[in-house]
Amino acid sequence: MRTMPTLHGARVHIRPFTSSDIDAVLALFDNAAHPTAVDPTIRARRSAWLAWASANHDELALLDQPPYGDRAVVLTATDTVIGAVGLVPCLDVYGQVGIGPDDGRSRAEMGLFWMVHPDHQCNGYATEAGQLLLRYALAVLGIERVIATTDYDNHASQAVMRKLGMDIRKNTYPTPEWLQLVGVYEPWMEPERFSDGTYVRPIVESDLDELLALWRGAPLRISPTDTPTGLRRHIALSGRFALALCSADGVIIGTVLGSDDGRRGWVNHLAVRNDQQHQGYGTRLVRILAERLTAAGCEKLNLLVVNNNAHVVPFYESLGFSIDDNLFMARWLREL
């Protein structure tokens, strides 16, 4: 059975709600300053919810289903319920924020939910509880991706997302009105750090201006697809292979837009800032990309070199690439 155990952190722990939590639940969800004076109808409704939440924990486990549902966030020092956290099924058009193809289809994702009573906010409890549940979802359940949603003006929620290491993505469409900001966390998004202080992280949509400046200085040919829409599509389909090499202070000094077409991996937009070249950074990016593609099951890595950039051929040959006798052809789909 997929029974979630009590999860223990430094200051809080997460457990199922029980019927004895009724006063804490009324304070948390209904802002009841004096739970004993709450309208009997509201108390009865919350009591029924508590019974369902407790049964949900057990029944989902018996059905070998994911441990969805709300759980209590408990301050360990005082055994006080101060909030709620949980994993929830989410279904929406997440392609609009760069999760999968933007084809208008809804996709199911595992969402992370949290809330903390106002008296205990601004103490990092939401982040600690979120980290406990996030680690459990990734390490024990083997979930590939966890998301969280919020509104444009909910800056506190966005701050927690950032502390959890989520990439916050904005819906560029006006609808649906409830799909505004989505925080996305996947294990491969964690930076890979090196002894010289540099690190490699995934490219995100907000990097575009910095990327364009680097690519122009390289110089690389800027494609008509090097736009917010183009980068968003690339991240949605091949995000784990779109990599930025950053200096210790966070400045992007190298890039590679790798991709996986299902049979072969591809290298695009490999570039290192002019003042950072000849330090092995390009080689580092290619090797990291090759490792990730190999782990994904790719057996071959391809790249194209434009005619006016032929001076880079010896570099690629030093990495084991060889020139194939192929004819490359292309057409813009908008011209069909």
- List pLDDT tens digits, range 182-223: 999 998 888 999 999 999 999 988 899 999 999 999 888 899
Q: Give Cα separations from 223 to 101, 212, 226, 235, 310 (angstroms).
A: 21, 10, 5, 16, 18
Please write down the long-range contacts of 65-68, taking CB distance under 8 Å and 24 or more positions apart: 65/2, 66/2, 66/110, 66/141, 67/2, 67/3, 67/4, 67/141
Mean pLDDT of 67-89: 96
What is the model's pLDDT at position 23? 92
Q: Give the C-alpha separation, 28 to 80, whole Å.
A: 12
Name which of 106-110, 267-271, 326-330 the model is least confident about: 326-330
In CATH, the number for domain 191-335 is: 3.40.630.30
Report how far apart the first and last C-alpha atoms of the chain are (Å, whole number): 54
Q: Return the residue matching tokens 């908008």.
A: 334
Angle of helix 40-62 versus helix 22-30 axis, rounded to 10: 110
113 has a pLDDT exceeding 70? yes
Q: Give Cα separations from 47 to 20, 27, 75, 215 (angstroms).
A: 9, 13, 22, 60
Number of Cβ within 10 Å of residue 117's Cβ equals: 18
Report which of 215, 246, 211 is spatially closest to residue 232, judged by C-alpha positions: 211
Q: What is the DSSP letter of 26?
A: H
How far from the centroid of its chain's Cα atoms is residue 113's Cα?
15
Please write down the long-range contacts of 281-287, taking CB distance under 8 Å and 24 or more positions apart: 281/198, 281/245, 281/253, 281/254, 282/254, 282/315, 283/319, 284/194, 284/200, 284/245, 284/254, 285/200, 285/243, 285/245, 285/254, 285/255, 285/256, 286/256, 286/319, 287/319
Q: Where in the chain is the domain with CATH 3.40.630.30?
A: 7-188, 191-335
Mean pLDDT of 106-132: 96
What is the model's pLDDT at position 37? 77
For residue 178, what pLDDT band results from cuts at 50, 70 and 90?
Answer: very high
What is the model's pLDDT at position 90? 96
Look up residue 53 and give its amino acid. Answer: A
What is the model's pLDDT at position 168? 93
For residue 336, what pLDDT band results from cuts at 50, 70 and 90?
Answer: low
Q: Return the residue matching tokens 């057409």.
A: 331
Q: Give the C-alpha separation, 26 to 3, whole Å.
A: 26
What is the model's pLDDT at position 75? 97
Name the H helices within 93-164.
Answer: 125-139, 155-163
Report which of 252, 263, 172 is spatially closest to residue 217, judged by C-alpha positions: 252
**pLDDT tens figures, 23-77:** 999 999 988 777 777 888 999 999 999 999 989 988 999 999 999 999 999 999 9
- The answer to whether residues 281 and 246 touch, using CB atoms and an 8 Å cutoff, is no
For residue 1, what pLDDT band results from cuts at 50, 70 and 90?
Answer: low
CATH class of 7-188: alpha beta
Mean of the per-residue pLDDT values of the chain: 92
Residue with the larger pLDDT of the pair 330 and 128? 128
Number of Cβ within 10 Å of residue 315's Cβ equals: 14
**pLDDT tens figures, 271-286:** 999 999 999 999 999 9
**pLDDT tens figures, 231-248:** 989 998 899 999 999 999
Burial class (CB in 10 A: 0-12, 13-18, 19+), 288: middle
- The answer to whether residues 255 and 270 touch, using CB atoms and an 8 Å cutoff, is yes
